[in-house]
Chains A and B, each alone.
Chain A
Amino acid sequence: MSKKVNFVIDGKECQSEEGLYLVEAAKENGVYIPTLCNYEGLKPKGSCRICSVKIDGRLTTACTSPVQDGMKIENNTDELNEVRKEIIELLFVSGNHFCPACEKSGNCELQALAYRFKMMAPRFPFAFPRKEVDASYPMIIKEQNRCILCKRCIRGIKDEDGKRYFAYRNRGQDSLVVPDRKMMAEMSPEKAQEAMDICPVGSILVREIGWIEPIGTRKYDKAPIGSDIENNQ
């Protein structure tokens, strides 16, 4: 059995195994640290900064920081939650996130985080970039308007040889996540579903199943994102 470490989150005494990332260690103790680019089973990347916490007074990402003995962590504070809300608002204005017309609405992590942090309207002006809807693949539709470039699909969706179905194209504000056309031609329905599920927003859609779940029964209709962790103490 590996060594146990003790740490404190917002005054709460917590204990977990050594070496876990802070997001996981907190989860084991019933503390929710919000994440977006992070996905269970994938190597953390720390790019979206939603999981920003203060460790001994210094701002850092909880998904990439291993827990250490004696750590004092600030998580659910007004200051950090404001930073998180700001990031979500930036994501909303930098793409075209029109929730009423989105198949993923109700199951979308970006939307759920906006609900959790009570975003009523973004404080920034909308960019309204012109993006394409790429419906040229047999199994999926790639909706670039909604892509937040979190790389979860690139990192997580691979075939049995480890070849990736998605890749980055271009740089900076022109960055796009694009499917590999050859790989897409052979994509199985199960793999397509996996890709849709790994996408936190509605950017990867399996064909012909949009709005299959009625309003009221979707993942974040009744309870905020993270409440399953908080109720599991």
Chain B
Amino acid sequence: MSKPVIATTSLAGCFGCHMSLLDIDERILPLIELVEFNKSPIDDIKTFTKQCDIGLIEGGCSNSENVHVLKDFRKHCNILVSVGECAIMGGLPAMRNGIPIKECLREAYLTGPSTTANTSHIIPNDPELPMMLDKVYPCQEIVKIDYYLPGCPPRADLIWETLLSLITGKPAELPYDVIKFD
């Protein structure tokens, strides 16, 4: 039997959850033995080259590109896992939710205190740029998510136990202090 294939991505996240994955320390060696990575910043594969077993999603959906990547993951991954607070509830980027997008962009590019370098006074509008969404959406409001790993970031032990349990099919043993929202 070939190894299970894992894909990971960071949408509107800070890569902290990926850092937490690296926090499994020396267990990264057995992990490499157990699984194969496909599209992921860890091996820098940019596009899916095959169907994957597990997709780990960090971050929520803040723009059209995030939605595109998330839907692509849903299509190519049999099991999709939301990793971290941003994927589950929007997180820090979602602090703009409730504020109209026009107001956010004006503050960021025209009227805010850090806009002095924007001498031409424009809001970036290149067609290459992904469109901002009206608000930041948690992943489960865009596609079906199979499992959730809360935390900011989720503890390395939580990620490790979950991966191991998904790979081996054994129930995960999760002590009280590995599931935290901060």
Contacts and interface: CB of A to CB of B under 8 A. Distances in A.
Contacts of B90: 126, 128
A185 interface: no
Interface residues of B, number: 28
Main secondary structure of the interface of A (DSSP, over half): loop
Contacts of A111: 181
Contact of B91 (A98, A115, A118, A120): A98
B140 A130 contact: no
B97 interface: yes
B181 A114 contact: yes
A122 B148 CA distance: 10
Interface in B140-171: 140-141, 145, 147-150, 152
Nearest to A92: B89
B55 interface: no
Interface string B87-115: 01111101101110000000000000000
Given A100-B181, A111-B181, A121 B95 contact: no
B182 A121 contact: no
Interface in A72-121: 92, 96-102, 105-106, 111, 114-115, 118, 120-121
A99 B98 contact: no
A228 interface: no
A42 interface: no
